[in-house]
């Protein structure tokens, strides 16, 4: 993108106009206009509502943004036309009030517009009928009255001509992805769009991502300004903490919060923050400073108990401070006193992280510890299923072998030489075997507990040991475990007692810790938590479908509660050959902040790498134990709802038995009072946890948001990715209690309301038939559609109940980046760009028609990784990648690429490795050949297309959305 | 057969039987007037060098209700090859193997000298002996060490093919699997939860109905031993393993906070031991050997809570009904004991602690099953070590002095019925024509089970004469009793020992002298004492004493010679003369007096009293006192304070204690070191003599007595002073001469006073 250099960092805002200006008839074939909106509206940095107020905005970006598309695109003239008042250089027409916050509420940020059929929506559903709409629709936009789309978009003019044949428009420009679409290239657009809306004309996620990358990826994101919208999660950027928490820790759905609940209700935009308190930072960014206040502990507001932060106002010469959350005036303790400078800042503000940074840590005093005792270092307990299935699949042998070396990589704090974490081992089938691996023993000792109904820990001394001290005994144990059970015929397993045992062990050792469970089968042995097979696909699409997501028994909930109380986090690795009731088994991991991994039909040859990689990562992950998280806010809003892997015993404290670097908590806020535009809204997330070395700490993240009285400000400062994160979690929780259909409808309604509100209040008055989307939310429909057609909400025939439950709980603790790619997979063409180009190739949209059969693509969504090979791919490519002579010789379903010494192979393998490195779970590669059986699987992830399970295509959904909005507006 | 004394002695030597009466009163009425019941002390496995077992099976009377065994008292028709049962008079054909018998060619069982005969049974699978160690780990380090050594040592004493098992317990109970290589494996149970036998077997994986794969195949008959072998293994196979395992045995690792007792799950441990054997080896000889160093403090069978501030129950608490765990615990152990007995296993308890360990509650385990009870202060004492070693002592044939799973069947001729037994046995509830409705001891049956017994195990068996007063004395004039003891010999053979005895009937009115002369006062004293102790287990102490006194008075009235109301005229014949004295000491004995004894000690003493043979029992009732001095050779002296003289060394044997007491002068001499001077070598010898004698007793006795070496004025002298008859006390010191003896500071009555009262009451016509 040529313009990238000059692009402003703020995301473009695009309105999407949908619908023809004329009513009733659709005489003209319209072009479903394409707006390569991603082309970075250059305008303002801060507000991101470009175009409308050029005078207020910094000129250079406007200029550059304007010029660059111009220079690059042949459509320049149309763009400069007076009909595009939204453009920066043009003064806003009367019909389009400006978008400055002070302007009237209809102010509309520039957006893409699309004209669509006016009158009655031609189709009810995004099904086949949906195409009718496009066939009839006149997509020729009325240029004049639609001033507000992002001016510099090269695609905009396409809509210009209304009834007549559109201007001669180089089709190339229609392709926002800069990937030539053969059809488009060959056909005049208007002819084609008689039959369908051109997918290129609708907002493209790829374009948005690319634009953001180009515009904002180069400069560090400095957090000194309140209410800044950070770059997208897909953009690589550096963060400089200057008073607000990095977006790596907190992202909000909106960085500008309505002052009153009325406005908020009107907009229907959920106010939520996605918090990842222990997020991993890139090496260039420093991890939070640890502040030690000695015996007095961290300084807090006396009333609301908020922790000292940069927003606290020091008054009376520094003798007191006013709490920025509750306005309570507190005395500054003498040892903390410091004079203020002429601006009212403490002179030591920059010496103290808690006065100058958005994120920092306090060392907690003994008051913050359980039982008023400093915690002991945590422990890891490995609990291995040794029933027949586990032995036969080779899992036990593999695992034991791996553990031997893995134990050297337990998380350690700072520069510690060895990890403080102690380890213990349990194997189990119908009974549990504990092992005494005390260093003084010559041989490990096994203790069998068969009283599974009333679990207890049979030994104290020697169960949890230091790895280096007991190394020989542990090695001997791990050598012997596979041998000992080699002849086992025990097929039944227990589950709840295993967790119980681990928890009791930690309790006995008086420490927090993490259990690693390796489990194979439905626990049908007679014991607490015994489960029966209740998998029933007939329930799908009935009111009882929710039971598939619910736990079979309340026992696990109770158990989880006990685990949380003990700070016992459970990570579960499942190796099922059939139904294991993930919904129930994952209850405890879910509530204790652990992860669930599932390897269906585990076979050592095929799944070894994936499992071991996940295991290593999970073991080595930095974890905070026995944590409590509390989110405090300024008076006016309040955290009301929480999503994620944790347990809550009251309405405010998020209790996390364990919290690792990947776990995310989504918090929803609601108004309980008015907010003040001036002081904004503050969030403080305080996480009290025990570090890997057993240190008790408090991690504080602060974030200041703007407040607005104008809806437009809200819409201008939203983040769709975060919004989707929230909505997905909301919906995924909803399926526990409501029929899936209700959940889907709720989502659609809410989304329609959000967009309708914008249309009504922010967009310029225009024909009701136009679909106008806020720039910040123009991807909302496509992403929402992805959520709606996800396996949980709309399962295909091949999706098992376990898969759905598994995905459901996975999403619950995903961060924004993960949900983003999970719902809208990345599809990377591998052979498009020259081999020498080592950077990641730009992605293409996830649609079958974007695939060319002469190319090879990689598709990933954070869990799966496919390599799609087109049928007519060059032989040379096949040879250098697969080391076979032709396409037909490629093994379908291959999971490892041969290691070949040629640039292409190296590049592809390098790319795969780098993709894997980006994700918290190892993605197993599946090679899919075009026209092959496996391709069905692959196509499932082409989310812009109609899915086999009935999910709408992007285009259809957009039409449907439009219809909904129009219904709301009328 | 010159005197009754010789007769009695000979009978004891030959048959291991001693009767209270050796001539029997011929009617029920007369028998009851005799006061002391017709009863006997039977030592079923009395060691007899001249009794080689015969290698065939006994011949039984064919009457199904009788099944008496052919014996020398039977009338045999050699020509018709018939024999008449002397109990039911059934005429029986000899089995084919006996066709060759004639008057001169008789099988052993018909010869009079084989009134006791032992048969070896060849049929039936022989199963090895089983020793299951149940070891408390809540011990002090050195105690545990000592115990571990003892246990390791014991492995070498066991027969190589014996099966051993190991259960350890503290807060938890661990059943150790012995068959595994490499990793040592144990099954752990919560110490607080009572489990049924079924649950235990399930959890140990013993009751598994074979695994899925095997089900397809035909069930293997060898399954049974295979399964159990995980926990019980032949010594020769795993002695190295087990030695290591014992060596690695650690003290219970669970922390015990200040002011608490360690949590000890004895109840569950025993329950698991019982359940384990029950499931794997029912009805084979097995010993569960419980080693405990303190009271059970949790779970079923707990005797005291873990708070040290609440002391373990005392007699005082029990009287005040203040022992809150006692009833429940007792019930638990009784249930276990009965199950164990039903399986034919026995339980030993080795309790070594300074405080009580709950023997009171656990006593039934040993008493019912015939196991040993050993009480000591510490496992690190020779008392325990040697006692334990002695369990594995062998007889002259190299066989262990232990037998298992015995059933004792008693058959009587029609004039007699069986009232009951007192001893380490349990009723098998076999009713029959010879079972009396009146119970003395464990009655209501003609068969008892004695799960563990040794050559000294002695039962008191009580009979009732049922012959009506006017019925004639039966033909032949002799009443007969047959004792049939079937047991598993330590060589794992099954054996049957049959003792058949007969006594004359006598009409009490006309032949009272005969009866009187045939009175065995020693046996009578022990048998009465057993009755008393048996009653004391369930009744209040004073009631028992009163009952004993009444019996004694009635006996004296019946057999004494006196003029009414003239106590000075009272005389007893020789055969009764010692009896009142036995009763006097019995009244003072720890079996009936709980003062100064903890409930555990009482249980311990009573346990041994109920199973030792006559000689030992008598020592327990009336300790033996020997005197050593320069005035002559060592001599037995009266158990009297008057025997305590300054120039004497006394050696007292109370069975449980051996006390050597140096008189005042002797003690001074020793202190002065005379024994080290060559010219006083005789003094050295004098000092040495009682030590040697004591050593001899120590060597022979089981359990090893407490050995006390003290002197005049020593604190330990109380052991002696509390036993001797307090003929001189602070009350009467000056009335008696000054020259002898040591006054005892007690308010107890002396023998003299006791006798005076007895005479007075005996001659009084009021009673």
**What does the H/E/C string look like for A548-586?**
HCCCCCCHHHHHHHHHHHHCEEEEEEECCCCCCCHHHHC
Stretch A447-453: mean pLDDT: 89
Residue A156: its pLDDT value, please?
A: 34
Which chain A positions have a beta carbon within 8 Å of B177's beta carbon?
A: 448
Contact flag A458-B172 (C-beta cutoff 8 Å): yes
Most confident of A367-376, A458-467, B328-337: B328-337
Taking contacts as CB-CB distances below 8 angstroms, the residues of chain A near B172 are 456, 458-459
- Express each pLDDT in B605-616 by its tens digit: 999 999 999 999
Report chain A residues whose CB lies below 8 A from the CB of B203: 431, 450-451
Check if B200 contacts A (Cβ < 8 Å).
Answer: no
Q: Taking Cα atoms as reference points, which of A922, A921, A925, A950 lies closest to residue A938?
A: A925
In tens, the pLDDT along B282-322 reads 888 899 999 999 999 999 999 999 999 999 999 999 989 88
What phi and psi, each to the nearest 5 degrees, are found at residue B444? 75, 15
Minimal CA separation from A417 to chain B, in Å: 30
- Residue A292's φ and ψ, nearest 5 degrees, are -115, 110
Question: Which 466-495 residues of chain A touch chain B by CB within 8 A?
Answer: 476-477, 480, 483-484, 489-491
**How much is the pLDDT for A19?**
38
CA distance A272 to A872: 47
The contacts of residue A725 (CB under 8 Å, 6+ apart) are A251, A274, A666, A814, A815, A816, A819, A820
Between strands A826-829 and A856-860, the pairing is antiparallel
| Better-scored residue on pLDDT, B558 or A765 | B558
Residue A463 at interface with chain B, using a CB cutoff of 8 Å: no
Q: Which among A445, A456, A489 has the least Cβ separation from residue B213?
A: A489
Q: Given this model, what pLDDT does residue A810 score?
A: 93
Tell me if chain A has a CB within 8 Å of the CB of B216.
no
pTM for this predicted structure: 0.82
DSSP-based three-state secondary structure for B344: coil
pLDDT given at position B123? 75
Q: Higher model confidence: residue B75 or residue A144?
A: B75
| Residue A461 with chain B: CB contacts under 8 Å | 250, 253
Nearest residue on chain A to B176, alpha-carbon basis: A447
Phi and psi at A503, nearest 5°, equal -65, -45
> What pLDDT does residue A10 have?
40
What is the DSSP code string of A580-632?
Answer: --HHHHTHHHHHHT--EEE-TT--HHHHHHHHHHHHHHHHHS-EEEEEEEEEE
Highest mean pLDDT of the ranges A109-113, A196-200, A611-615: A611-615
Task: Please name the member of A445, A454, A490 whose beta carbon is closest to the beta carbon of B190.
Answer: A454
Least confident residue range of A787-791, B273-277, B748-752: B748-752
CA distance B257 to chain A (A): 14
Q: Are B477 and B504 in contact (CB under 8 A)?
A: yes
Gap from A574 CA to chain B (nearest CA, Å): 24
- C-alpha dihedral sign at B201, B203, B204, B210: positive
Q: What is the rounded distance in angstroms from the CA atom of residue B206 to the CA atom of residue B278?
A: 11
Mean pLDDT across the stretch A18-43?
Answer: 38
Q: Do A450 and B193 touch (CB under 8 A)?
A: no
Give B186's contacts in chain A (Cβ within 8 Å).
445-448
| pLDDT, tens only, A31-51 | 333 334 434 333 333 333 433
The most confident of the ranges A22-31, A162-171, B659-668 is B659-668
| pLDDT for residue A3 is more than 90 | no
Residues B356, B599: Cα–Cα separation, whole Å: 8
Place B540 in a pLDDT band, splitting at 50, 70 and 90: confident
The pLDDT of residue A536 is above 80: yes
pLDDT value at A24 more than 60: no
In angstroms, the CA B59 to CA B101 distance is 14
B211: nearest CA partner in chain A: A489
pLDDT for B397 equals 82
In the stretch 335-354 of chain B, residues with CB closer than 8 A to chain A read none
Q: What integer pLDDT is reported at residue B620 of this predicted model?
A: 94
pLDDT at B78 over 60: yes
Q: Is the pLDDT confidence value at B339 over 80?
A: yes
CB atoms within 10 A of CB B668: 14
Q: What pLDDT is attached to residue B113? A: 87
- The model's confidence at residue B228, banded by pLDDT at 50, 70 and 90, is low
Place A565 in a pLDDT band, splitting at 50, 70 and 90.
very high
Both tokens assigned to A677: 């535009």
Tell me which residue of B702, B46, B24, B618 sits closest to B383, measured CA to CA: B702
Whether B227 contacts chain A with CB within 8 A: no
CA B290, CA B168: separation in Å to the nearest integer?
Answer: 10
The H-or-E segment that residue B391 falls in is helix B382-391
B414-436 mean pLDDT: 92
Give pLDDT, residue A667: 95
Cα A393 to Cα A391: distance, rounded to the nearest angstrom? 6
The per-residue DSSP string of B146-215 comes to HHHHHHHHHHHHS-TT-EEEEEEESSEEEEEE-S-SSSEEEEEEETT----HHHHHHHTT-S----HHHH
Number of neighbouring beta carbons within 10 Å of residue A180? 13
Verify whether the Cβ–Cβ distance A446 to B184 is below 8 Å: yes
The region of weakest confidence among A385-389, A519-523, B11-15, B598-602 is B11-15
Q: Give A410→chain B minimum CA distance, Å.
A: 26
Q: What is the pLDDT of residue A704?
A: 94
Query: Residue B767: its pLDDT value, please?
Result: 54
Edge-to-edge strands of the sheet including B706-711? B632-636, B624-629, B649-653, B657-662, B706-711
pLDDT at position A969 over 60: yes
Does residue B691 carry a pLDDT above 90? yes
Tally of CB atoms within 10 A around A196: 16
Task: Tell me whether residues A489 and B211 touch, CB distance under 8 A.
Answer: yes
Please list every residue in chain B whose beta carbon sits closer than 8 Å to the beta carbon of residue A489: 211-214
Average pLDDT of the residues of chain A: 80
Distances (CA, A) of A107 to A93, A157, A775: 12, 22, 13
CA-CA distances (angstroms) from residue A149 to A96, A110, A111? 10, 4, 4
Three-state DSSP class for B579? Answer: helix
C-alpha distance across the termini of chain A, in Å: 40
Chain A touched by B49 (CB under 8 Å): no
Q: Do B195 and A446 touch (CB under 8 A)?
A: no
**Any CB–CB contact under 8 A between B196 and chain A?**
no
Tell me what percent of the residues of chain A surpass a pLDDT of 90.
54
Residue B593 structure tokens: 């007096």
Give the pLDDT of residue B626. Answer: 94
In sequence order, which residues have a C-beta less than 8 Å from that of residue A640 and are 6 or more positions away?
A: A651, A668, A669, A670
pLDDT at B413 over 60: yes
pLDDT at A64 over 50: no
Q: Kindly indicate the confidence band of residue B476, based on its pLDDT and cuts at 50, 70 and 90.
A: low
Read off the pLDDT of each residue in A167-191 and give the average, rounded to a whole number. 37
pLDDT at B325 exceeding the cut of 90? yes
State the pLDDT confidence band at B2, using cuts at 50, 70 and 90: low
- Interface residue A434 vs chain B (CB under 8 A): yes
Candidates A435, A437, A449: best to mutate against B (most CBs of B within 10 A) is A449
Nearest CA in chain A to B208: A490
- The per-residue pLDDT of chain B, averaged, comes to 88
Chain B contact for A458 (CB, 8 A cutoff):
yes
pLDDT-wise least confident of A95-99, A353-357, A725-729, A834-838: A95-99
Give the confidence band of A763 by pLDDT, cuts at 50, 70, 90: confident
State yes or no: pLDDT of B210 exceeds 60: no
Q: For residue B183, give how far its alpha carbon lies from the nearest alpha carbon of chain A (Å).
A: 5
Q: Which two tokens stand for residue B62?
A: 């064919």
Question: Angle, to 10 degrees, between the axis of helix B521-538 and the axis of helix B541-559?
Answer: 150
Hunting for tokens 């690319």 — which residue is that? A210
Rg (CA), chain B: 28
CB B728 within 8 A of CB B742: yes
pLDDT of residue A183: 38
Tens of pLDDT along B117-166?
999 988 776 778 899 999 999 999 999 999 999 999 999 988 888 899 99
Kindly state whether B189 is in contact with chain A, defined as any CB-CB distance less than 8 angstroms.
yes
Q: Is the ipTM of this complex over 0.95?
A: no
User: How many other C-beta atoms lie within 10 A of the C-beta of residue B307?
Assistant: 11
Q: What angle do CA B264, B356, B720 make, to 5 degrees?
A: 155
Testing the interface with B: which of A436, A448, A454, A478 to mutate, by most B Cβ within 10 A? A448
pLDDT of residue A689: 94
pLDDT band at B379; cut points 50, 70, 90: very high
């Amino acid at each position: 993108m040529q313009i990238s250099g000059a692009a402003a960092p703020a995301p473009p805002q695009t309105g999407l106009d949908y619908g023809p200006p004329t009513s009733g008839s659709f005489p003209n074939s319209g072009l479903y206009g394409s707006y390569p909106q991603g082309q970075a509206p250059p305008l303002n940095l801060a507000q991101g509502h470009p175009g409308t107020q050029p005078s207020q905005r910094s000129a250079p970006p406007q200029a550059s943004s304007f010029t660059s598309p111009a220079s690059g695109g042949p459509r320049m003239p149309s763009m400069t036309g007076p009909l595009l008042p939204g453009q920066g250089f043009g003064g806003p027409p009367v019909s389009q009030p400006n978008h400055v916050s002070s302007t009237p509420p209809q102010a509309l940020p520039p957006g893409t517009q699309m004209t669509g059929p006016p009158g009655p929506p031609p189709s009810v559903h995004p099904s086949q009928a949906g195409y009718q709409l496009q066939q009839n629709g006149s997509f020729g936009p009325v240029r004049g009255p639609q001033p507000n789309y992002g001016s510099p978009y090269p695609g905009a003019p396409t809509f210009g001509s209304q009834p007549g044949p559109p201007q001669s428009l180089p089709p190339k420009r229609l392709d926002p992805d800069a990937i030539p679409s053969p059809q488009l290239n060959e056909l005049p657009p208007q002819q084609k769009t008689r039959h369908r809306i051109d997918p290129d004309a609708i907002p493209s996620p790829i374009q948005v991502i690319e634009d953001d990358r180009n515009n904002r990826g180069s400069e560090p994101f400095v957090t000194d300004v309140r209410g800044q919208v950070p770059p997208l999660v897909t953009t690589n950027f550096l963060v400089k903490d200057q008073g607000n928490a990095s977006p790596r820790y907190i992202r909000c759905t909106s960085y500008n919060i309505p002052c009153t609940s009325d406005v908020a209700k009107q907009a229907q935009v959920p106010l939520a923050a996605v918090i990842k308190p222990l997020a991993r930072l890139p090496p260039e960014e420093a991890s939070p400073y640890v502040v030690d206040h000695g015996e007095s502990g961290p300084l807090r507001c006396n009333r609301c108990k908020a922790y000292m932060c940069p927003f606290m106002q020091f008054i009376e010469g520094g003798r007191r401070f006013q709490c920025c959350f509750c306005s309570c005036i507190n005395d500054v303790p003498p040892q903390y006193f410091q004079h203020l400078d002429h601006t009212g800042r403490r002179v030591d503000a920059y010496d103290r992280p808690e006065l100058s940074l958005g994120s920092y840590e306090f060392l907690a005093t003994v008051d913050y510890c359980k039982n008023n005792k400093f915690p002991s270092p945590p422990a890891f307990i490995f609990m291995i299923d040794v029933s027949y299935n586990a032995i036969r699949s080779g899992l036990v042998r593999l695992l034991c072998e791996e553990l031997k070396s893995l134990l050297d990589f337990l998380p350690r704090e700072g520069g510690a030489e060895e990890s403080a974490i102690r380890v213990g081992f349990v194997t189990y089938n119908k009974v549990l075997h504990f092992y005494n691996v005390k260093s003084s023993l010559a041989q490990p000792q096994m203790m069998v507990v068969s009283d599974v109904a009333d679990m207890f820990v049979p030994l104290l001394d020697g169960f949890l040991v230091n790895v280096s001290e007991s190394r020989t005994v542990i090695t001997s144990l791990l050598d012997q475990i596979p041998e000992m059970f080699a002849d086992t015929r025990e097929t039944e397993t227990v589950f709840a007692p295993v967790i119980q045992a681990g928890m009791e062990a930690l309790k006995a050792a008086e420490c927090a810790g993490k259990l690693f469970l390796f489990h194979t089968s439905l626990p049908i042995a007679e014991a607490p938590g015994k489960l029966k097979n209740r998998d029933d696909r007939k329930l799908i699409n009935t009111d009882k479908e929710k039971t598939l997501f619910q736990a079979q028994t309340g026992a696990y909930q109770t158990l989880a509660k006990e685990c949380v109380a003990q700070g016992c986090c459970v990570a579960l690795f499942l190796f099922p050959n059939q139904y294991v009731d993930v919904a129930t088994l994952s209850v405890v991991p879910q509530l204790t902040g652990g992860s669930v991994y599932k390897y269906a039909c585990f076979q050592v040859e095929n799944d070894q790498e994936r499992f071991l990689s996940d295991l290593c990562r999970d073991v080595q992950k930095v974890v905070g134990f026995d944590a409590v998280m509390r989110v405090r806010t300024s008076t006016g809003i309040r955290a009301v709802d929480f999503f994620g892997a944790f347990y809550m015993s009251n309405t405010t404290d998020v209790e996390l038995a364990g919290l690792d670097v990947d776990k995310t908590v989504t918090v929803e806020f609601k108004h309980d009072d008015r907010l003040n535009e001036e002081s904004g809204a503050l969030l403080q997330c305080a996480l009290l946890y025990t570090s890997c070395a057993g240190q008790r700490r408090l991690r504080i993240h602060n974030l200041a948001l703007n407040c607005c009285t104008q809806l437009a400000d809200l819409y201008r400062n939203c983040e769709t990715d975060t919004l989707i994160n929230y909505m997905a979690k909301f919906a995924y929780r909803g399926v526990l209690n409501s029929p899936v259909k209700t959940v889907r409808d709720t989502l659609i309604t809410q989304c329609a309301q959000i967009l309708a509100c914008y249309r009504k209040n922010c967009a310029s008055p225009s024909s009701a038939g136009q679909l106008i989307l806020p720039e910040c939310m123009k991807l909302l429909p496509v992403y929402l559609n992805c959520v709606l057609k996800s396996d949980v909400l709309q399962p295909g025939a091949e999706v098992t109940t376990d898969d759905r439950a598994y995905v459901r709980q996975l999403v619950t603790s995903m961060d924004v980046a993960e949900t983003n790619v999970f719902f809208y997979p990345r599809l990377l063409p591998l052979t498009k760009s020259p081999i020498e180009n080592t950077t990641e190739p730009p992605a293409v949209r996830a649609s079958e028609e974007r695939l060319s059969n002469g190319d090879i693509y990689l598709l990933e969504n954070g869990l799966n990784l496919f390599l799609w090979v087109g049928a007519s791919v060059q032989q040379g490519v096949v040879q250098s990648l697969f080391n076979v002579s032709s396409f037909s010789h490629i093994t379908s379903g291959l999971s490892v690429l041969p290691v070949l010494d040629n640039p292409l192979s190296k590049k592809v393998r390098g790319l795969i490795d780098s993709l894997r490195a980006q994700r918290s779970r190892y993605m197993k590669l599946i090679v899919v050949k075009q026209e092959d059986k496996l391709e069905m699987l692959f196509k499932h992830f082409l989310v812009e297309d109609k899915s086999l399970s009935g999910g709408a295509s992007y285009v259809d959904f957009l039409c449907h959305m439009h219809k909904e909005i129009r219904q709301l507006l009328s | 057969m010159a005197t009754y004394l010789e007769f009695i002695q000979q009978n004891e030597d030959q048959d291991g039987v001693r009767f209270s009466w050796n001539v029997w009163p011929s009617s029920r009425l007369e028998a009851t007037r005799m006061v002391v019941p017709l009863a006997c002390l039977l030592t079923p496995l009395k060691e007899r060098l001249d009794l080689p077992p015969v290698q065939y099976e006994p011949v039984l009377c064919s009457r199904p209700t009788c099944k008496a065994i052919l014996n020398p008292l039977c009338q045999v028709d050699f020509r018709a090859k018939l024999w008449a049962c002397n109990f039911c008079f059934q005429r029986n054909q000899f089995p084919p193997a006996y066709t060759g018998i004639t008057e001169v060619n008789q099988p052993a069982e018909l010869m009079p000298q084989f009134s006791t005969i032992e048969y070896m049974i060849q049929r039936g699978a022989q199963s090895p002996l089983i020793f299951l160690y149940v070891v408390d780990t809540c011990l002090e380090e050195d105690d545990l060490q000592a115990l571990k050594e003892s246990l390791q040592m014991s492995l070498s004493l066991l027969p190589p093919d014996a099966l051993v098992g190991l259960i350890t317990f503290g807060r938890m109970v661990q059943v150790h699997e012995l068959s595994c290589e490499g990793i040592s494996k144990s099954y752990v149970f919560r110490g607080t939860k009572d489990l049924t036998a079924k649950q235990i077997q399930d959890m140990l994986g013993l009751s598994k109905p074979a695994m899925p794969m095997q089900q397809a195949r035909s069930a293997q008959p060898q399954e049974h031993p295979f399964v159990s072998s995980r926990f019980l293994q032949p010594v020769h196979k795993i002695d190295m393993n087990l030695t290591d395992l014992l060596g690695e045995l650690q003290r219970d690792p669970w922390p015990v906070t200040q002011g608490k007792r360690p949590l000890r799950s004895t109840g569950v441990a025993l329950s698991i031991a019982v359940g384990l054997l029950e499931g794997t080896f029912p009805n084979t000889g097995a010993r569960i050997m419980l080693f405990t160093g303190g009271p059970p403090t949790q779970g079923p069978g707990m005797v005291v809570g873990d708070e040290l501030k609440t002391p373990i129950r005392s007699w005082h608490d029990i009287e005040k009904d203040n022992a809150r765990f006692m009833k429940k615990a007792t019930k638990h152990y009784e249930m276990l004991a009965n199950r164990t007995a039903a399986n034919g296993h026995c339980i030993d308890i080795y309790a070594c602690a300074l405080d009580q360990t709950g023997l009171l509650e656990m006593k039934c385990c040993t008493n019912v099953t015939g196991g040993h009870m050993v009480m000591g202060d510490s496992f690190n004492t020779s008392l325990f070590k040697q006692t334990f070693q002695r369990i594995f002592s062998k007889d002259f044939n190299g066989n262990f002095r232990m037998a298992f799973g015995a059933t004792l069947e008693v058959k009587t001729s029609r004039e007699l019925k069986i009232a009951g037994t007192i001893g380490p046995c349990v009723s098998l509830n076999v009713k029959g024509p010879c079972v009396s409705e009146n119970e003395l001891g464990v009655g209501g049956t003609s068969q008892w089970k004695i799960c563990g017994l040794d050559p000294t195990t002695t039962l008191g068996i009580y009979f009732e004469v049922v012959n009506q007063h006017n019925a004639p004395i039966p033909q032949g004039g002799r009443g007969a009793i047959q004792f049939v003891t079937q047991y598993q010999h330590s060589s794992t053979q099954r054996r049957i020992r049959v003792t058949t005895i007969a006594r004359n009937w006598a009409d009490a009115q006309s032949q009272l002298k005969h009866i009187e002369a045939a009175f065995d006062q020693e046996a009578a004293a022990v048998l009465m004492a057993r009755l008393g102790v048996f009653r004391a287990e369930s009744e209040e102490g004073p009631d028992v004493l009163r009952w004993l006194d009444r019996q004694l008075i009635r006996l004296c009235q019946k057999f004494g010679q006196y003029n009414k109301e003239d106590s000075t005229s009272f005389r007893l014949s020789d055969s009764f003369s010692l009896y009142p004295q036995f009763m006097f000491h019995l009244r003072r004995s720890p079996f009936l007096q709980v003062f100064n004894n903890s409930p555990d000690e009482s249980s311990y003493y009573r346990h041994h009293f109920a199973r030792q043979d006559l000689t030992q029992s008598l020592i327990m009732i009336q300790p033996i006192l020997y005197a050593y001095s320069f005035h002559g050779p060592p001599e037995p002296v009266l158990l009297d304070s008057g025997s305590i003289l300054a120039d004497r060394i006394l050696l007292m044997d109370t069975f449980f204690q051996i006390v050597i007491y140096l008189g005042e002068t002797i003690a001074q001499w020793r202190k002065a070191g005379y024994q080290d001077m060559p010219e006083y070598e005789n003094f050295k010898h004098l000092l040495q003599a009682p030590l040697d004698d004591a050593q001899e007793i120590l060597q022979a006795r089981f359990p090893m007595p407490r050995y006390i070496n003290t002197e005049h004025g020593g604190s330990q002298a109380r052991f002696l002073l509390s036993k001797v008859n307090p003929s001189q006390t602070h009350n009467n010191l000056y009335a008696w001469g000054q020259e002898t003896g040591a006054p005892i500071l007690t308010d107890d009555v002396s023998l003299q006073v006791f006798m005076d009262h007895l005479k007075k009451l005996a001659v009084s016509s009021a009673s």
